[in-house]
Amino acid sequence: MSIGPFQILIIALVVLVLFGRGRISEMMGDFGKGVKSFRKGLNEDDDVPARPAAQIENQPAAAAAEAKAADSSSAPR
């Protein structure tokens, strides 16, 4: 069973009656602002330069060293 144009019209009328025209306009405006903010965030990520390969390769070793130092300083004596 597929949804036809008549069923979509009934659903739209029910939503309009429940929320009113003003509330629907406000929700769509908020949705548009959210999409705009999301796109802006994606574009800002493109502007961030990539880290050098040497820094990426050494990162696991540095993280392990930091974890080991934290474990030894918090161990009971």
What do you get for the CA distance between the two ends of the chain, in Å?
71
* pTM (whole model) above 0.75: no
Q: Is residue 36 a contact partner of residue 28, using CB atoms and an 8 Å limit? A: no
d(CA 9, CA 13): 6
Q: Where are the domains of the chain?
A: 1-47
Handedness of CA 31, 36, 42, 44 (dihedral sign): negative
* Predicted confidence (pLDDT) at residue 77 exceeds the cutoff of 70: no
**Mean pLDDT, residues 17-37:** 89
pLDDT at 38: 92
* Predicted confidence (pLDDT) at residue 42 exceeds the cutoff of 70: yes
**Mean pLDDT, residues 44-70:** 61
pLDDT at 21: 82
